[in-house]
Amino acid sequence: MTLKMHRRWLVICSGVIGLWVVTPALAQRGSGAPEDPHAAAQARSAEERGAALLDDLFLEVAWQVQGFGGMYTDESGALFVYLKDASRKANAERVIEAVFGTGRVPLSGIQVLHGRYGFEELRDWHERLIDVLAIDGVSITDIDEANNRLTVGLERMELRAAVEDELARLGVPLEAVHFEKAERIKFASSLQDKIRPPVGGIEIVFNCNAAGLCNGCTLGFNVARILSGNYGFVTNSHCTIQQGGVESTIYTQGWERIGVETADPTYRTREGKFLTSCPAGRRCRFSDSAFVRFDDQSLGTASRGYIARTTGIGSIEISASNPRFRITSEASTPLSGTTLNKIGATSGWSQGPVVMTCANVTTGTDITLLCQDKVAAKVAGGDSGSPVFRTINSATNDYQLHGILWGETDNFSAFWFSNMSNIQTELGSMLTCSSGC
């Protein structure tokens, strides 16, 4: 799989702005004896463990409920839980509430599905799979908690035999793995007018040259950083001059400067002993995110917790009667089956279900993004940085922030995003809601 960054270039000529999309290419875990999953999880650094939060929470449930194999929700809010032993239903409900928080289990209780594999087994096998991502054309490895199995995504299905040989070498049972054809994923690059104060979902521009050529992405969401007290916004790391590391990238919106990049963690390697889960020979992070400090700090106080609202699904025109979504809560990690929205500067508003969670995703470069989530919803070049959020109560305009979009499939039918747990871990604690949180 080749993963590319989409950037939109804007040209100013005789007062007319033309725009189009170009796609310049962006700049293993050993096989050994299987590790005890309890010891492996406890040995992780605080940063790595915190970033891979959803699978860690599942693992915590599995430690307390023997035979727990994962869970997912559907559009009605029903919660389906895989158990090897259905008699453990009551215990599972108590533990899920304790681990995921009050209200996670519906009043009607959980729906029990027979599970063949426990989550501890799936987690152990998934960790052994990390170096499969080093095989050219293997794009995704995932614990598919909605189907109680592992998934391996292949850009070319003829790679299956080679991957099966590797699974046998790693001690991962073939019957526990589902292979699927995976679309090539790209870093995605009109809510295009000048918006003041700037809110999530609108176009931002950076890296302009003397000829008027610029890169374009989407402003994700406005925040207040707790450590520094600075107001600013989050966008993608690949929407900076150099992906990873701070180069003080300058951003404009509506052709006026609004801020400068001040936080963008470097991508790290397993060889450097910083990320044990990073595939051999690659650089990794848990989120494609960077923080941009507003030049005018008052912009942040007026717009934190708001995302531009368009006239409807597929529209890039901002609604005159109801121009903003209000973020009133934040979710650390999504569950499979949850319906999420995004607002992007190019394709506008789209929504769809979460179809993969906490998957490790390779790119056509030396970069691997760990524990990423996928939504089956429309995306386009220029949507990089889009805020991803869930409807809580549309009547009261309450929405929940879930993360930031960074990738797209070749047919633009699905997008990848980094969830808030990973972003908050890498950029530091931030306030994201219109008040509180």
Q: How confident is the model at residue 188 (pLDDT cuts 50, 70, 90)?
A: low
> According to the model, what pLDDT value does residue 419 have?
97
Q: Is the pTM value of this prediction over 0.75?
A: yes
- The CATH number fitting domain 7-25+187-431, selected from 2.40.10.10, 3.40.50.300, 1.25.40.10, 3.20.130.10: 2.40.10.10
Fold topology of 37-114: GMP Synthetase; Chain A, domain 3 (3.30.300)
The answer, yes or no, to whether residue 7 has pLDDT greater than 60, is: no
Render pLDDT for 285-310 as a digit per residue (tens, 0 to 9): 999 999 999 999 999 888 999 999 99
Q: Compute the residue count for the chain.
A: 437
Give the residue with greater pLDDT, 29 vs 406: 406
Please state the φ and ψ torsions of residue 174, each to the nearest 5 degrees: -60, -35
The answer, yes or no, to whether residue 122 has pLDDT greater than 50, is: yes
Q: How confident is the model at residue 212 (pLDDT cuts 50, 70, 90)?
A: confident
- Residue of 109, 146, 176 whose CA lies nearest to 354: 146
Tell me what the mean pLDDT of segment 369-383 comes to.
96
Contact by Cβ (8 Å): 294, 258: yes
Cα separation, 59 vs 70, in Å, equals 9
* Average confidence score pLDDT of the chain: 87
Render pLDDT for 325-366 as a digit per residue (tens, 0 to 9): 999 999 999 999 999 999 999 999 999 999 999 999 998 789
Query: Residue ranges per domain, the chain?
Result: 7-25+187-431, 37-114
Render pLDDT for 170-184 as a digit per residue (tens, 0 to 9): 999 999 999 999 987
- Residue of 184, 153, 186, 137 whose CA lies nearest to 406: 186
Render pLDDT for 245-257 as a digit per residue (tens, 0 to 9): 999 999 999 889 9
Cα separation, 389 vs 234, in Å, equals 14
Q: Any residues with CB less than 8 A from the CB of 234 and at least 6 apart, and which?
A: 220, 221, 223, 289, 290, 291, 292, 385, 404, 423, 427, 430
Provide the terminal-to-terminal Cα distance of the chain, rounded to the nearest Å: 38
Tell me what the mean pLDDT of segment 415-436 comes to.
95
The answer, yes or no, to whether residue 266 has pLDDT greater than 80, is: yes
Q: Rounded to whole angstroms, what are the CA distances from 343 to 83, 378, 410, 418?
A: 37, 10, 19, 15
